[in-house]
Amino acid sequence: MTTLRSSLALLAVVLLASCRSVAVPIPDPPPEAAEWERADAQVAGAYLGLRTSENDSGRLDDLSFDPGVRVDRVDPSSPADVGGLRPGDIVLSWDGAELFAPESLEVLERAGAGGQVVQLEVRRDDTIFEVPVTLRAVAAGSAGEVRVVARVDPVRSRARWWTAPDGARLVASDVGGPFPAGGVPVGAVVHEVDGEPVLSARGLIRRMLALEPGATLRVTWSAGGGERSVSKVDLYDAPRITTGFGLPILAHYDHDPDARTTSFVLLDLYVISLLRFTRDGEEREWRVLRWFRTSSGVGELSE
């Protein structure tokens, strides 16, 4: 009896050791240069003709941000195209005002006027140029302006963010999301993370994506223009599930949560098995010694 108990205990330990668990599949991060195209886009203010993104290192394992915005696209025949700008250039400043995020450039562009000449400080390779560009006037369209209202992070913070003048504003959050759970309310502005200043919403999201799930952040924030507070926030960590384990001949288990399928085999001798269980959606089948079979659910599984 003691030998049998010892054998069963050893089998349980081996089964647990052979389990392989993976995280629930996480959504892809937002595209790095998301943009909205409209054939007849008419906005009030001035038109430059650049599509830009943050000037980052491009590596999540060694993420860093430098001043300026990176040019991703130049609209043909636009003021920027006439001025000689091209993809890959780094726009450092606009009339002496440093740029840290694409949103900063958009604000200055909307505040400009047709015919206004602005001095752009542009870095190309190892050379910095001062480029005069004449803005083009555009009329306000009746459909209104297409504008970015939030950056979405469904992976680490499960929240929506927007670039504020001195950080990133928490626009909305999942119920029980990491930031509200850590004491940072919706509407608050995050100024610093782990002592590093937050320059834009996308920059904050990319910094969080570079961290491990469940990592703890030291967040400096304020709400309603009040005093700054410091909170600890644990990033979202998706629950783990067991998707399979196996011991030759003794037992084998597989589970696919996406396809909703499960199979379990006990004492699999290839030609015959002691017990075989299969689930496909709502259908279930039990088979003992191959000859004794029963099914339940919506119909039977096909042989």
Helix (H, G, I), strand (E, B) or coil at 113: coil
Identify the pLDDT of residue 268.
79
- 133: which strand partners? 118
Helix (H, G, I), strand (E, B) or coil at 300: coil
Residues 60, 107 share a domain: yes
**From CA 253, how far away is CA 58, in angstroms rounded?**
40
77 within a domain of the structure (yes/no): yes
Burial (Cβ within 10 Å: 0-12, 13-18, ≥19) of residue 269: exposed
- Write down which residue in 138, 169, 201 finishes a domain: 138
Write down how long the chain is: 303
Kindly report the pTM of this predicted structure: 0.48
Number of domains in the chain: 3
Residues 250, 221 share a domain: no
**From CA 294, how far away is CA 301, in angstroms rounded?**
10
Q: What is the CATH number of the domain that holds 195?
A: 2.30.42.10
134 within a domain of the structure (yes/no): yes
Residues 106, 60 share a domain: yes
Residues 128, 53 share a domain: yes
- Write down which residue in 87, 116, 138 finishes a domain: 138
CB-CB contact of 170 with 186 (8 Å): yes
Burial (Cβ within 10 Å: 0-12, 13-18, ≥19) of residue 56: middle
**From CA 161, how far away is CA 171, in angstroms rounded?**
5
**From CA 264, how far away is CA 255, in angstroms rounded?**
9
Tens of pLDDT, residue by residue over 162-209, are: 988 889 999 999 888 999 999 999 999 999 999 999 988 888 998 998
277 within a domain of the structure (yes/no): yes
Identify the pLDDT of residue 165.
85
- Write down which residue in 138, 160, 175 finishes a domain: 138
223 within a domain of the structure (yes/no): yes
298 within a domain of the structure (yes/no): yes
Q: Which domain holds residue 281?
A: 241-303
Low-confidence ranges of the chain (pLDDT < 50): 4, 7-8, 10-11, 13-29, 39-43, 142, 300-303
Cβ atoms within 10 A of the Cβ of 298, count? 8
**From CA 58, how far away is CA 93, in angstroms rounded?**
21
Residues 281, 222 share a domain: no
Residues 292, 273 share a domain: yes
Residues 94, 112 share a domain: yes
Identify the pLDDT of residue 59.
57
Tens of pLDDT, residue by residue over 28-63, are: 445 555 565 554 444 457 888 889 888 876 655 555
Residues 175, 212 share a domain: yes
Query: CA–CA distance from 200 to each of 81, 132, 169, 302 (Å)?
Result: 26, 27, 9, 55
168 within a domain of the structure (yes/no): yes
Residues 269, 200 share a domain: no
Residues 167, 106 share a domain: no
